[in-house]
Amino acid sequence: MRSFQIIYIILFLVVFSFLAWLAYKNVSILIRKQNQNRSKWIFVLLNGLVLLGFIFLYIYPYQPRQATNYPVYFYFNAMLFTLFIFNVSNSLSFVLHKFFERKKKILPFTGLIISIGLTCGMIYGVLWGSHKIQVNRIELEYDNLPISFNNYKILQFSDIHIGGMLKSNKLLDRTYAVIENENPDLLLFTGDIVNNFANEADGFRPVLKRMTNEHQAFSVLGNHDYGDYTTWESDKKKQENLGGIIATLNETGFLLLNNENRVIKKNNDSIFLAGVENWGHPPFPQYANLEKALDGIPSDAFSILMTHDPAHWTSKVKKRDDIELTLSGHTHGMQWGIKLAGIKFSIAHLANNYWGGLYRSNNSVLYVNTGLGNVGIPWRLDMAPEITVFTLKRSKVD
């Protein structure tokens, strides 16, 4: 296994260096000969420093599975990917120029402009796109919704990833402000409060507690909450970490539903809320026990399910007729999307058909919240941090 990793790393370094050379060749076409030597050294210095940073953080002496300084990795990843895209765009235009133009400079110039545009877009995603919350309001009608729950309001948010969140306090304060403004009847958090470690929540418990002070709140665990993406000294340490995360949720007022359910009462009516542990397609863990979570819920009851990964709905839930609404997160919409002419698209669709928004299958409804925080790269490009507010409507009133 280790040898394959080394091969991939070497291949990446070779490809990155080759694209940097082609990008320089493209840019050099557009500048005067007396400045070409200077531009060459700028390319060598910039790309060389990034490659050294990659080796330093990913190969030796550090490795990502041992990291706790997530913002350092996130910022570096943003720099690495931005430079990579800049080089790819320029490389492609240089190759096309060699095959089709030769003497003209239209393609090299076009490639440079596109590269600059993409670079500016990515910088915007880091500095601004990750911090502006989008509130999506959804109305859902049901024939079997108990009459007392007509206009019942549920607020969902997901995937905080506190340890990797840049300007965490500001974003969580804005989340609290949205919750206070919406004043929901029920507050639901669908997993991934941290990246790996329970201590990431240190200093943020007060604002989390404020969110639940006047609201009934529930949560489930996400794949990152189990600490599977780091190396532990022992299984005991890993379990202690998970215990710390569970304690944080409970201490801040989020009642954790681990393969269990609760009845939600209003006047003389009731609905049921179930929550499961994480279940995803491999390599993601499959800890959920859906039957256990639904145990005791009457067959004719109105039921809501919280499950972190929408893959669970795809494989286990959508064919059932006893769960009216499933709420998930996990995908982040890949933190990168496009919305044009009323059509939204994300590269997350390449990995998951159910990556963000509302989906229906017969009587089953799924909503995938694209999350508040970031993983891997600290940007959101046309995929703003999301809070979803559902208003349940009774379509038949007695």
CATH number at residue 159: 3.60.21
- The domain boundary, picked from 129, 159, 193, lies at 129
Contact 309, 332 (CB under 8 A): no
Tell whether 360 and 280 lie within a shared domain.
Answer: yes
Tell whether 310 and 223 lie within a shared domain.
Answer: yes
pLDDT tens sequence across 269-321: 999 999 999 999 988 889 999 999 999 999 999 999 999 999 999 999 998 98
87 pLDDT exceeds 90?
yes
Q: How crowded is the C-beta side of 103, counted as CA atoms within 13 Å?
A: 0
- The domain boundary, picked from 114, 129, 144, lies at 129
Q: How many CB atoms lie within 10 A of CB 295?
A: 12
> Among 18-27, 53-62, 163-172, which is the least confidently predicted range?
163-172
Tell whether 201 and 59 lie within a shared domain.
Answer: no
Report the number of distinct structural domains present in the chain: 2
Q: Which two tokens stand for residue 64?
A: 């990502």
Contact 220, 191 (CB under 8 A): yes
Residues spanned by the domain of 192: 134-394
- The DSSP secondary structure of 192-240, one letter per residue, reads --SSS-GGGGTTTHHHHHHHHTTSEEEE---GGGGTTTS--S-HHHHHH
Distance CA 107, CA 349 (A): 31
Prediction pTM value = 0.92
Please indicate whether residue 68 or residue 101 has the higher confidence score (pLDDT): 68
DSSP secondary-structure letter at 31?
Answer: S
Residue bearing tokens 């046309």: 382
Tell whether 226 and 98 lie within a shared domain.
Answer: no
Contact 311, 286 (CB under 8 A): no
The pLDDT confidence band at residue 100, using thresholds 50, 70 and 90, is confident
Per-residue model confidence (pLDDT) at position 398: 53
Tell whether 70 and 149 lie within a shared domain.
Answer: no
Question: Alpha carbon of 52 to those of 58, 294, 376: distances in Å?
Answer: 10, 52, 19
Nearest to 372 by CA among 387, 356, 352: 387
pLDDT tens sequence across 207-263: 999 999 999 999 999 999 999 999 899 999 999 999 999 999 999 999 999 999 999
Residue bearing tokens 């200077």: 38
